[in-house]
């Protein structure tokens, strides 16, 4: 009977995970093994009083018929994963043989579409996640000591960046750093350079995107830390206070160890969320200098007349593998600590 109760308790969650996580992943994998059906071309001869000309046109009916017969497209195996827009093993091999230095080899590899997007994605992940955890904890710790009269208003103002949708938030900041925006105009006045623009440099654009990522994600860390602070036992804190421990010592030796599992949870969520960064790139119109893996998927599917489902599927699978690799060390460490506590 207990096992039956547990089964019916876990069944809805398991079914939802299969339908909304498992099946889409399997579908993306099968789609990544196929490429789009090529268009059927035909020669059409057009004659006029000055002579005849032969033009090549797309046979729409024949192309549609082929697509109906093979909705997934032509089977390509792992060819899409190895082409120039993805892992590009052939191009990397050529670059290794032709490069005269490691710097030249690195420049060639990082200019390949997939590795260029991967570099920005990883940079965004590791530049945004640590400050988000640190600032979220500091803000939660500070607000937790405020009086109840002003605490509600401060909490609302703190979580406001999380309430604003990423696209709107990035557009607002994009307008602010424009030459006519408050930040852009202030920088021009500060440096006495009317031509200075934060959008003119790729490095400044990356920094702006990272700052936006920290601003948008910190409220999430704050909410989780603030809720966890309410569960910290007061007896050890009061005992430490009586023994003469400073506030810093009480936080370091009592509060932080209690919140360590919460910090691990926040890190996992932030890494997964930041690895699929997309909206800030669109909002900042930064596609020229910053491309992410999610943006590559968007590019493959944005053209209605030629959607590259196979390429989008391959990029999706590589993104999933990347997230798994990124989270594996944290999950292994958490599992070892769990086994040790038992």
CATH number, domain of 162, equals 1.10.3720.10
- pTM comes to 0.82
- Residue 93 in domain: no
Rounded mean pLDDT of 290-307? 84
pLDDT recorded at residue 1: 47
Same domain, 125 and 66: no
> Which string of DSSP letters, residue by residue, matches 181-245?
SHHHHHHHHHHT-TT--TTS-HHHHHHHHHHHHHHHHHHHHHHHHHHHHTTS-HHHHHHHHHTT-
Q: Taking the CA atoms of 276, 279, 282 and 283 in sequence, report the sign of the dihedral they define.
A: negative
- Residue 33 in domain: yes
At 55, phi and psi to the nearest 5? -115, 150
Total number of domains constituting the chain: 2
Same domain, 34 and 160: no
Is it the case that residue 340 has pLDDT exceeding 90? no
Q: How many percent of the chain have pLDDT more than 70? A: 82
Same domain, 134 and 210: yes
Is it the case that residue 160 has pLDDT exceeding 80? no
Same domain, 39 and 166: no
For the ranges 11-15, 75-79, 157-161, 175-179, the lowest mean pLDDT is seen at 175-179
Domain boundary among 50, 75, 100: 75
pLDDT recorded at residue 218: 92
pLDDT tens digits along 161-201? 777 766 677 777 767 777 677 777 777 777 777 776 666 67
Q: Which range scores top for mean pLDDT: 109-123, 199-213, 285-299?
A: 109-123
Same domain, 173 and 310: yes
The DSSP code for 164 is S
Angstrom distance (rounded) from CA 27 to CA 312: 12
- Count CB neighbours of 331 within 10 A: 12
Same domain, 31 and 137: no
Rounded mean pLDDT of 270-290? 86
Is it the case that residue 252 has pLDDT exceeding 50? yes
CB 116 within 8 A of CB 291: yes
State whether residue 52 is helix, strand or coil.
strand
Same domain, 121 and 24: no
- Residue 85 in domain: no
CB 167 within 8 A of CB 283: yes
Same domain, 220 and 121: yes
For the ranges 16-20, 57-61, 149-153, 240-244, the lowest mean pLDDT is seen at 57-61
- For residues 60 and 107, the model is more confident at 107
Q: Which residues of 273-298 are buried (b: 16+ CB within 10 A; e: fewer)?
A: bbbbbbbbbbbbebeebbbbbbbbbb
Q: How many percent of the chain have pLDDT more than 90? A: 27
Is it the case that residue 98 has pLDDT exceeding 70? yes
For the ranges 72-76, 162-166, 247-251, the lowest mean pLDDT is seen at 162-166
Angstrom distance (rounded) from CA 331 to CA 145: 33
Rounded mean pLDDT of 310-318? 91
Angstrom distance (rounded) from CA 164 to CA 208: 18
Per-chain mean pLDDT for the chain: 83
- Determine the structural domain holding residue 244 and report its residue range: 112-341
Name every residue whose Cβ is closer than 8 Å to that of residue 316 and which is 6 or more positions away in sequence. Answer: 28, 32, 297
- Residue 107 in domain: no
- Residue 122 in domain: yes
What's the per-residue H, E or C state across 178-192? CCCCHHHHHHHHHHC
Pinpoint the alpha helices (H) of 57-201. 60-69, 79-82, 89-98, 102-110, 113-143, 148-163, 166-176, 182-191
Domain boundary among 49, 75, 101: 75
Strand bridging mode 74-75 / 41-48: unpaired
- For residues 177 and 74, the model is more confident at 74
Is it the case that residue 273 has pLDDT exceeding 60? yes
End-to-end CA distance of the chain: 26
Is it the case that residue 317 has pLDDT exceeding 50? yes
pLDDT tens digits along 134-147? 999 999 998 888 87
- Residue 126 in domain: yes
pLDDT tens digits along 211-244? 889 988 999 999 999 999 988 888 888 888 888 8
- Residue 95 in domain: no
Same domain, 118 and 244: yes
Domain boundary among 25, 57, 75: 75
- For residues 65 and 258, the model is more confident at 258
CB 303 within 8 A of CB 99: no
Angstrom distance (rounded) from CA 297 to CA 312: 5
CB 234 within 8 A of CB 296: no
Is it the case that residue 208 has pLDDT exceeding 80? yes
User: Considering only CA atoms, which of 272, 277, 284 is closest in space to residue 322?
Assistant: 272
Same domain, 52 and 137: no
The DSSP code for 302 is S
pLDDT recorded at residue 156: 79
Same domain, 175 and 267: yes
- Residue 216 in domain: yes
Same domain, 56 and 180: no
């Amino acid at each position: 009977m207990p096992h039956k109760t547990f089964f019916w308790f876990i069944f809805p969650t398991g079914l939802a995970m299969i339908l909304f996580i498992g099946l889409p992943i399997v579908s993306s994998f099968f789609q990544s093994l196929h490429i789009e059906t090529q268009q059927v071309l035909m020669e059409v001869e057009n004659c006029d009083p000055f002579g005849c000309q032969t033009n090549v046109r797309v046979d729409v009916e024949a192309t549609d018929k082929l697509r109906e017969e093979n909705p997934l497209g032509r089977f390509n195996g792992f060819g899409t994963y190895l082409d120039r827009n993805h892992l590009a093993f052939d191009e990397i091999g050529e670059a290794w043989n032709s490069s005269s230095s490691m710097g030249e080899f690195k420049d060639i590899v990082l200019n390949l579409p997939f590795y260029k997007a991967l570099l920005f994605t990883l940079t965004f992940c590791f530049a945004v996640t640590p400050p988000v955890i640190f600032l979220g904890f500091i803000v939660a710790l500070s607000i937790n000591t405020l009086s109840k009269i002003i605490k509600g208003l401060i909490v609302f103002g703190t979580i406001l960046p999380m309430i604003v949708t990423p696209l709107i938030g990035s557009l607002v900041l994009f307008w602010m750093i424009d030459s006519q925006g408050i930040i852009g105009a202030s920088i021009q006045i500060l440096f006495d350079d009317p031509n200075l623009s934060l959008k003119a440099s790729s490095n400044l654009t990356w920094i702006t995107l990272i700052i936006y990522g920290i601003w948008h994600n910190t409220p999430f860390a704050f909410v989780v830390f603030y809720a966890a602070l309410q569960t910290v036992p007061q007896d050890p804190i009061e005992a430490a206070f009586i023994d003469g421990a400073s506030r810093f010592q009480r936080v370091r030796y009592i509060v932080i160890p209690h919140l360590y599992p919460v910090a691990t949870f926040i890190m996992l969520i932030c890494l997964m969320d930041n690895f699929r960064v997309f909206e800030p790139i669109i909002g900042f119109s930064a596609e020229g200098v910053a491309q992410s893996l999610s943006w590559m998927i968007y590019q493959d599917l944005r053209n209605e007349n030629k959607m590259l489902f196979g390429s989008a599927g391959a990029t999706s699978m590589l993104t999933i593998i990347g997230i798994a690799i990124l989270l594996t060390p944290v999950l292994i460490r958490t599992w070892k600590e769990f086994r040790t506590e038992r």
